[in-house]
């Protein structure tokens, strides 16, 4: 495959993860982003041994968007610290079924991950293993698609939990379009759909120069094309 690289220097590279690809090393024989990035680095500068690729953050397999991968351990350490300190800004676009009651807001919940079923759910604060999950959202456009009202949301993650956006939006009454795990409408057998979620923007501080590094890319796909807002972005 041809990687869509938005930026690259000696420390890291910014790449668009395609929908349907694992963002870290996959256990199967399917291609994954880490393997593709390693192949790219090796092609540019063939050296003995395997190239270093640091995974800084993750995207669910059915979600596409902007990602950063470190090329040195020093850069990985710096970027990981920015994630932990909530200094790496991530903005997502999501298409949800219906319209949220408010045009903007913040959801604060506790999520519990079910490793056996690779799913998460909202639980009470005191549940063992429950982790705080917080995001803020803003409705930026509405449309009608296949006889149903859908809304385009801009979402900013404050925490990075397993399936966080998908679980929280479903839990608050507006599940993501195409989400076969958390949206009952798309859970019929034999249905194949993509989750209408896209990591559109990533901003952080360069690990060496300290310069602010903003990167963004417009979401693509039929469901996102229903919104005039994205044609103006």
CB proximity list for 86: less than 8 A, separation 6 or greater: 158
Beta carbons of 57 and 83 less than 8 angstroms apart: yes
Position 107 pLDDT exceeds 90: yes
d(CA 71, CA 7): 13
Query: Which of 20, 1, 14 lies closest to 67, judged by CA?
Result: 14
Is 114 part of the annotated catalytic residue set? no
Average pLDDT taken over every residue of the chain: 92
- Per-residue pLDDT averaged across 67-71, rounded? 96
Q: What is the dihedral of CA 173, 103, 161, 181, to 10 degrees?
A: 30
More confident: 53 or 190: 53
| Max mean pLDDT range (14-18, 23-27, 188-192) | 14-18
More confident: 102 or 158: 102
What percent of the chain is predicted at pLDDT more than 90?
Answer: 72
Query: Which of 112, 167, 113 lies closest to 135, judged by CA?
Result: 167
Please provide residue 117's backbone torsions phi and psi, each rounded to the nearest 5 degrees: -105, 5
d(CA 175, CA 12): 34
Q: Using 50, 70 and 90 to split pLDDT, how confident is the model at 42? A: confident
d(CA 17, CA 26): 14
d(CA 144, CA 34): 38
Active-site position among 60, 109, 124, 141: 60
Position 148 pLDDT exceeds 90: yes
d(CA 70, CA 57): 10
């Amino acid at each position: 495959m041809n990687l869509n690289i938005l930026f690259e220097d000696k420390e890291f590279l910014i790449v668009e993860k395609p929908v349907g690809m694992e963002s870290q090393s996959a256990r199967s024989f399917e291609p994954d982003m880490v393997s593709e990035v390693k192949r790219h680095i090796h092609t540019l500068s063939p050296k003995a041994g395997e190239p270093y690729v640091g995974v800084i953050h993750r995207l669910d397999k059915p979600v596409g968007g902007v990602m950063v991968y470190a090329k040195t351990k020093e850069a990985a350490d710096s970027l990981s610290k920015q994630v932990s300190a909530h200094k790496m800004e991530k903005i997502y676009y999501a298409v949800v079924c219906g319209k949220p009651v408010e045009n903007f807001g913040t959801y604060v919940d506790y999520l519990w991950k079910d490793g056996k079923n690779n799913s998460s759910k909202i639980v009470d604060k005191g549940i063992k293993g429950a982790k705080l999950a917080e995001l803020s959202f803003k409705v930026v456009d509405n449309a009608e698609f296949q006889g149903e009202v859908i809304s385009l949301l801009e979402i900013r993650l404050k925490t990075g939990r397993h399936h966080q956006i998908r679980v929280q939006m479903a839990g608050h009454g507006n599940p993501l379009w195409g989400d076969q795990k958390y949206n009952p409408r798309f859970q019929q057998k034999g249905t194949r759909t993509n989750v209408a979620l896209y990591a559109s923007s990533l901003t952080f501080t360069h690990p060496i120069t300290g310069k602010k590094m903003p990167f963004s890319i417009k979401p693509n796909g039929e469901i996102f094309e229903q919104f005039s807002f994205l044609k103006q972005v």
